Amino acid sequence: MKALVCTKPGVLENLQIDAPIHLPGNTILKIKRIGVCGTDLHAFEGSQPFFDYPRILGHELAAEIAETDAPGFEIGQAVTIIPYFNCGHCIACRNDKPNCCVELRVCGVHRDGGMVEYLSVPSYSLIHNQGLELDELALVEPLAIGAHGIRRAALREGEFVLVVGAGPIGLGIMEFARIAGGKVIAVDINEERLEFCRSRLGVEWLINAGSEDINAELREITRGDMPTVVIDATGSLKAIQSAFRFMAHGGRYVLVGLQKEEIGFSHPEFHKREATLMSSRNATRSDFQWVMRALQEKWIDPKIFITHRVAFPQVKDEFHKWLNPGHGVIKAMIEMN
């Protein structure tokens, strides 16, 4: 079968590999859509943590069932998956946090992913389509990342939430912050992304990260209080460290973005705020279900995120372009026959 393999940073190769064999407890999927996310792009450029080569990328998936023995699922049925495969018995799994399982294996990161014709996945990862279309199913996972980040922040109605980074994950965070009743402030260095936030998501407060005095702008917006929730969706060391100073006293800072290096901040400034710092990793089944309800109820239009489409045979030639901000990519969607 056809597969697109990232053999080393900067190199994608179209290869022929063996099709998977159906084993008990697993399901063979015929891949139909693959959303390209920051993890895939970072892996391609060589900056993704916890990553080995060669690797088949892709974990934002919509597919049809080709073979299965999973109760309640049928051949030909459209599904998506929770692409974080967990052990089921570690302390995180026992405490209903399979998203940060000790032995977690993320599809397309720790094991080969969905840029293939057929993919074998654990049957426990399957999610019914609930009437959603293929494009929508492929966008459930990245939106669930945002939904999980907002749940971690315990955002309350009327709170100011500063979202740093207006990429696909940051945009999803903004949408679920809006649904939760938060007052969203978007920060990004890319003016086109900020304009997208304004025109397509209705975000009222926009700040360019290159501003001379972001603190002054935040004080003006919040009437001197500063945001009670700050969420990083960049994975940039500079952005992560800078945003500590944007928190209100008593505020919460959630790191959704991931990067390789150690972070540092002023303990006195953090301590006097009695601030809370937390990470947000992946998402849980309840987050996926919440996203699917939001899509069913039309609280979110996921298709506005899709700015680029490409057929699978052309991905190798197009992929590197999506790293260039000048191409205006929000979400690239790969279509399989």
pLDDT at 38 over 90: no
Average the pLDDT over 19-35 and give the result. Answer: 97
Give the CA distances from residue 190 to residues 102, 187, 207, 337, in Å, rounded to whole numbers and listed in that order. 36, 9, 10, 34
| CATH tag for 2-129+301-335 (out of 3.30.70.60, 3.40.30.10, 3.40.50.300, 3.90.180.10) | 3.90.180.10
Does residue 274 sit in helix, strand or coil? coil
Q: Is the peptide bond before 54 cis (omega within 30 degrees of 0)?
A: yes
For residue 171, what are its two tokens?
Answer: 């945009």
pLDDT at 259 over 90: no
pLDDT band at 325 (very low <50, low <70, confident <90, very high): confident
pLDDT at 113 over 90: yes
Average the pLDDT over 289-303 and give the result. Answer: 96
Torsion of CA 122, 124, 126, 130, to 10 degrees: 170
- Range(s) of the chain covered by CATH 3.90.180.10: 2-129+301-335
pLDDT at 104: 97
The model's pTM is 0.95
For domain 146-279, the CATH architecture is 3-Layer(aba) Sandwich (3.40)
pLDDT at 322: 93
pLDDT band at 57 (very low <50, low <70, confident <90, very high): very high
pLDDT at 18: 96
- Range(s) of the chain covered by CATH 3.40.50.720: 146-279
pLDDT band at 39 (very low <50, low <70, confident <90, very high): confident
pLDDT at 47: 78
Average the pLDDT over 154-160 and give the result. Answer: 98
